[in-house]
Amino acid sequence: MSLTVDDVNKIAYLARLGIDAQDTESYAKDLSGMLDLVAQMSAVNTDDVTPMAHPLDQIQRLRPDQVSETNNREAFQAIAPQVEAGLYLVPKVIE
Amino acid sequence: MHTKTIAQLAQGLRTGDYSSQELTEAYLARITQHQDLNSFITVTEHQAIAAAKQADAILAAGDAPFLTGVPIAHKDIFCTLGVKTSCGSKMLDKFISPYNATVVEKFNAAGAVSLGKLNMDEFAMGSSNETSFYGAVKNPWAIDCVPGGSSGGSAAAVAARLIPGATGTDTGGSIRQPAALCGITGLKPTYGRVSRYGMVAYASSLDQGGPMAQTAEDAALMLQAMAGFDPKDSTSVDCAVPDYSAGLNNSLAGLKIGLPKEFFDEALNSEMAATIEAAINEYKKMGAEITEVSMPNLKLAIPAYYVIAPAECSANLSRLDGVRYGHRCENPADLNDLYIRSRGEAFGTEVKRRILVGTYALSEGYYDAYYIKAQKIRRLISDDFNKALEQVDVIMGPVSPTPAFGIGEKTDDPIEMYLADIYTIAINLAGLPAMSIPAGFIDNKPVGLQIIGNYFDEAKLLNVAHQYQQVTDWHQQTPKGFE
């Protein structure tokens, strides 16, 4: 499996991940190498195998629908890059 | 006193041989003296002295929890209230955690005194500690070599006797491999045994925290403090915590040890094979029986891991977007620019590689071919272990294909670096507990023996490790310059 520079740029955009233009080629090479490694999996037939999501096959635990946490808004917002009036600020998204 | 174990220190504190404050000051002095190792990211000197004074008061009053006054340190992946929790990344370089991880709370409740936060590979992605934003950690046994990773700071600090015990985390070998390369004892518990709450997530279905210390006896004491059900972690398993120290002295006569033939094939170099065989011979002398077992799907562990771990990492690290906490770029033009530049500026190359591979594997049209396929392979590997563990009590083998390698030696070739975890990764996929214990030296560099057990059988692993440490002294050796 070989990824092109274009592929890398597309994937990087999906991940909202900036990568320097001069590094794209080396990412393409490294990622292609990783996908070659991963391709060894196709040598094994797994048609009748159930995918394993949790080592102990546990299912998601549910809890009673009750308030269990205290409000920590101020502590959490104290470490935010930009807040105002209890809201997280981002660049304008609606024109 | 810095060569003493946690068990000895806890005893000495009780009998008044020294106070927690004296101990804490002595270890802090050693941390300063050996800061060239780069094993710590943050040293919390003032909090430590205050905690030590409090511990001394509790000790004086009597009925103190067992670890009261014992200095430890946390891998910088565990959130610590009011203290920087960087996860080895520029992304979280200014992140002061607003809460404690459950593991941190539990050590506090057990009376331990935290001296600070230990260096690690960025977001625990690495096998050499070289991906840290804070620079490589040096191996105290060979200063030009890596300590292993990702819990490299924890392993180096314990090996150099800067701290008697440290927390670590293990997603593909990140406790066991650095423990092996630094000549200390490390335990990766069963998945779900130790709470992941407040432990920065890398690959959520694989990550597990555990103890790193000089001896199995100390690892048992630390695990006692760490283990247990946590309603705050949805993958925590509600299963009773046994007394991990109670069975340490059980006889190993009749113990069935399985040796996977896939661990001992031609790929294992002869010196490593000879060292591991010598360790297994010690077990034979103690009355253990050796059986060959086969795990035909083991060779697929690295390929499956490098789909599952990056996929989960790409999802987990998407939370780091420059909005709620962590690094934010200057003057973003719009929301996309904010995300792209904040993440692009703050993540290192290895983290980016894994986010990209994970994003690709989860993207439309590739999900079944990569992620589902890898989860099916994961089942096959887990079945191999389950079958083997029906025949034997524990499985043994090497931890790492080689002893510590040189700093910079493998950084140009990520695939070469991934192969450093060839003997450890499958255990995470299966979710089993496993240990690394010191078992000898090659070229004056430590070698670890891996002991793998059944689900929630940590007490058995600790017993098997402790018995070996009663007849060998590899774990007591201290690197030159750190005696």
Residue B91 has pLDDT above 80, yes or no: yes
Nearest to B260 by CA among B470, B430, B127, B468: B430
Q: Residue B334, Cβ neighbours under 10 Å: how many?
A: 12
Spatial distance between the Cα atoms of B206 and B263, rounded to a whole number of angstroms: 21
Q: Does B132 participate in catalysis according to the annotation? A: no
Residue B366 has pLDDT above 80, yes or no: yes
In the set B128, B150, B195, B436, the catalytic residue is B150
Window 5-44 of A, Cβ < 8 Å to B: 8, 11-20, 23, 27, 30-31, 33-35, 37-42, 44
Spatial distance between the Cα atoms of B71 and B23, rounded to a whole number of angstroms: 7
Residue A1 has pLDDT above 80, yes or no: no
Spatial distance between the Cα atoms of B263 and B475, rounded to a whole number of angstroms: 23
Q: What percent of chain B is modeled with pLDDT above 70?
A: 100
- In this complex, the residue of A27, A33, A54 whose CB is nearest that of residue B235 is A54
Our count of domains for chain A comes to: 1
Does residue A51 form part of some domain?
Answer: no
- In this complex, the residue of A17, A56, A81 whose CB is nearest that of residue B343 is A17
Burial (Cβ within 10 Å: 0-12, 13-18, ≥19) of residue B18: middle
- In this complex, the residue of A3, A42, A52 whose CB is nearest that of residue B382 is A52
- Cβ-defined contact of A80 to B325 (cutoff 8 Å): yes
Q: Give yes or no for B245 touching A (CB within 8 A).
A: no
Does residue A52 form part of some domain?
Answer: no
What pLDDT shows up at residue B481?
95
Does residue A85 form part of some domain?
Answer: no
What pLDDT shows up at residue B238?
92
Window 454-483 of B, Cβ < 8 Å to A: 455
Spatial distance between the Cα atoms of A40 and A53, rounded to a whole number of angstroms: 20
pLDDT, average across residues B41-50: 98
The CATH code of domain B6-254+435-476 reads 3.90.1300.10
In the set B19, B86, B132, B174, the catalytic residue is B174
Report pLDDT digits (tens) over B168-204.
Answer: 999 999 999 999 999 999 999 999 999 999 999 999 9
Spatial distance between the Cα atoms of B69 and B11, rounded to a whole number of angstroms: 11
What pLDDT shows up at residue B13?
97
Q: Does B256 participate in catalysis according to the annotation? A: no
Does residue A10 form part of some domain?
Answer: yes
Q: Give yes or no for B191 touching A (CB within 8 A).
A: yes
- Cβ-defined contact of A42 to B414 (cutoff 8 Å): no
Residue A61 has pLDDT above 90, yes or no: no
pLDDT, average across residues B261-266: 91
Tell me the nearest-neighbour CA distance from A26 into chain B, angstroms.
10
CA distances from A85 to A73, A75, B90, B143 (A): 11, 14, 28, 52
Residue B134 has pLDDT above 90, yes or no: yes
**ipTM value of the model?**
0.96
Does residue A94 form part of some domain?
Answer: no
Average pLDDT, chain B: 97
Identify all chain A residues contacting B378, using CB atoms and an 8 Å cutoff. 51-52
Burial (Cβ within 10 Å: 0-12, 13-18, ≥19) of residue B265: exposed
Neighbouring residues of B87: CB distance < 8 A, sequence distance ≥ 6: B76, B77, B120, B122, B123, B124, B200
What pLDDT shows up at residue A95?
75
Does residue A75 form part of some domain?
Answer: no
Q: Does B245 participate in catalysis according to the annotation? A: no
Grouping H, G, I as helix, E, B as strand and the rest as coil, residue A82 is: coil
pLDDT, average across residues B301-321: 97
What pLDDT shows up at residue A11?
97
Strands B40-43 and B71-75 come out as: unpaired
Report pLDDT digits (tens) over B199-245.
Answer: 999 999 999 999 999 999 999 999 999 999 999 999 999 999 999 99
Report pLDDT digits (tens) over B383-411.
Answer: 999 999 999 999 999 999 999 999 999 99
Does residue A35 form part of some domain?
Answer: yes
What pLDDT shows up at residue B47?
98
A52 band by pLDDT with thresholds 50, 70 and 90: very high
Q: How many residues in total does chain B contain? A: 483
- Cβ-defined contact of A56 to B237 (cutoff 8 Å): yes
Place of tokens 């090996």: B159
How far is CA B83 from its chain centroid? 21
What pLDDT shows up at residue B221?
98
Does residue A88 form part of some domain?
Answer: no
pLDDT, average across residues B37-66: 97
B323 band by pLDDT with thresholds 50, 70 and 90: very high
Q: Which two tokens stand for residue B481?
A: 């310059």
Q: Give yes or no for B323 touching A (CB within 8 A).
A: yes
Q: Give yes or no for B17 touching A (CB within 8 A).
A: no
What pLDDT shows up at residue B84?
98
- In this complex, the residue of B98, B341, B361 whose CB is nearest that of residue A79 is B98
Q: Which two tokens stand for residue B196?
A: 């992941």
Identify all chain B residues contacting A90, using CB atoms and an 8 Å cutoff. 323, 332, 335, 338
pTM over 0.95: yes
A40 band by pLDDT with thresholds 50, 70 and 90: very high
Q: Which domain holds residue A27?
A: 5-43
A60 band by pLDDT with thresholds 50, 70 and 90: confident
Q: Can you say whether residue B163 is alpha, beta or left, with left for phi > 0 and alpha for psi between -120 and 50 degrees?
A: beta
Q: H-type helices in chain A, by residue range?
A: 5-14, 24-38, 73-77
B265 band by pLDDT with thresholds 50, 70 and 90: confident
CA distances from B302 to A41, B167, B202, B422 (A): 10, 25, 16, 7
Report pLDDT digits (tens) over B406-448.
Answer: 999 999 899 888 988 999 999 999 999 999 999 999 999 999 9
